[in-house]
Amino acid sequence: MSLSRYQSLTVDATSKKDALKKARCDAMEQSQLQVQADIFARIQNKAAIVSERLPVEKIYHPFVCGPNNAIIKKLMEETGARINVPPPRIQKDEIVISGEKDDVTWCKATIMRIYQEKKQKCQTISVEIKKSQHKYVIGLRGSNLQEILDITGVSVEVPFSDSPSERITLRGEQENLGLGLKMVYSKITTGIQAASIISADVKAPEWLYKYIIGKEGENIKRITQDSPKVHFKFLEGQDKIQVEGPTEEVKHAVADLQANVKGLQRSMDCAEIEIEWQFLKHIIGKGGANIKRIKNENCVRVHIPSDAENRSIIRIEGERKGVQRAKQQLMAMIKEIRIEIPHKLHASIIGAKSCLIHSIMDECGDVIIHFPPKGSTSNDVLIRGPRRCVLYARKHLIELKKLKSISEASKRQNGFRKGSHKNDYRSYECSFCDKRFATKSGMDQHKRQHSML
């Protein structure tokens, strides 16, 4: 490569390096100028912030601020200015505005216009109200005062709690003062009613109590969210719920509770079955198997009475259809049949001191045998209990009936001259009393042995 070629490349590199250096210097200079401009703008803005105190009497501050400070908030949002109104306890007849000059001027004009207008048109009336009732006029965090101002345009001035004065002053335009005063007394009446404690009853079946309360009390908590001062008493054995609390809260709570009770009664049911004590073990089943099966199949609750309850009523609770199915299944476990035995044989079948009939009931496994009352001419004998046991008792009562009938017939014919049939049924009777249930019958010409359950 020639020398001229190397010289040309050197000149080009040098010119590019100089251009880059110059560009960097220009950028730094531009940045410094921008910083200086920002500083100058900030100084100018700071110089433009102004503050002004407006001579506005304290009694007219509510009109300037508006209900719930609506007017002041709107002015600050539209202009960006800050408006400082002294709190109620600070007795200052001024309002301070700060911000850019134009914004302050706009806010000042609006506030002074409201002030001058109210100062010219407003009149006052004063009423004496018991100190204990002032809180009802004020409301929670002054809510009642703001409501009256919003609806009527009347400002209500209530003495501070540490003041002995009972005078309340209403300030506003003449045509609005009457409505404002009416609202004041209305708030007092409502407050007194709400503060008074009343009691109301809601009818509900006792079995429904736990469903009304809900799991971990969730249903009752839902009602007390809107009525926190209300108390509920679930009265045992009276099928009603007592609701106590302030009047208004009780009204709301009772309405909610009644709606809840009606809804549950439409969808749920309760059935009770009276079962003799000796049958309960057959109903429950081994390890509670029968009850568990019924509960799972029908989605119901089954309450089995405990020994302490001293009653033999099974209660089923749940959805209406499930309760009816479960009731049918439980009733099917206990069989009830009637057999005819001539009433003249009843006394002899029952036996001396009921020995024979008690032995039959015990041997047949927890059955109950009902005979008609003494002196009755009815032939119906009722057998009730578990199906297998009822059928077994029926079999033996029929056999005993036959023996007694034959004996009575033989007695009428020959007066038991030979005594054979008499000995047959006496042996049958004694065997029951001795828990052996072994019988000998000469009529069948052979021995019969009865195996008991």
Residues 6 or more apart whose CB falls under 8 angstroms from that of 134 comprise: 158, 159, 161, 166, 168
Residues 85 and 29 in one domain: no
Q: Are residues 250 and 307 both part of a single domain?
A: no
pLDDT (tens, 9 = 90+) of the chain, 453 residues, equals 444 444 444 445 455 566 666 666 666 666 666 766 666 555 555 446 889 999 999 999 999 999 999 999 999 999 989 999 999 888 899 999 999 988 999 999 999 999 999 999 999 999 999 998 999 999 888 999 999 999 999 999 999 988 889 999 999 999 999 999 999 999 998 888 777 788 899 999 988 998 899 888 888 888 888 888 889 999 988 899 999 988 888 889 999 999 999 988 888 888 888 777 666 777 787 788 888 888 888 888 888 877 666 667 888 888 888 888 888 888 777 667 788 888 888 887 777 777 887 887 777 767 778 788 888 888 888 877 777 777 777 887 888 888 877 777 776 666 544 444 444 444 444 444 444 333 333 323 333 333 222
Same domain membership, residue 201 and residue 190: no
Considering the domain architecture, whether residues 430 and 394 belong to the same structural domain is answered as yes
Could you tell me if 345 and 374 lie in one domain?
Answer: yes
Q: Are residues 329 and 235 in the same domain?
A: no
What is the residue range of 291's domain? Answer: 275-333
Number of domains comprising the chain: 5
Q: Are residues 179 and 244 in the same domain?
A: no
If asked whether residues 185 and 61 sit together in one domain, one would say yes
Domain co-membership, 257 together with 376:
no
Please identify, among 161, 194, 227, the residue that sits at the C-terminal boundary of a domain.
194
Question: Does 61 lie in the same domain as 115?
Answer: yes
Judge if 149 and 189 occupy the same domain. yes
Regarding whether 262 and 212 lie in a shared domain, the answer is yes
Domain boundary among 145, 171, 194: 194
- Domain of 296, CATH number, reads 3.30.1370.10
Q: Pick the last residue of a domain from 269, 295, 321.
A: 269
Phi, psi of 201 (to 5 degrees): -110, 140
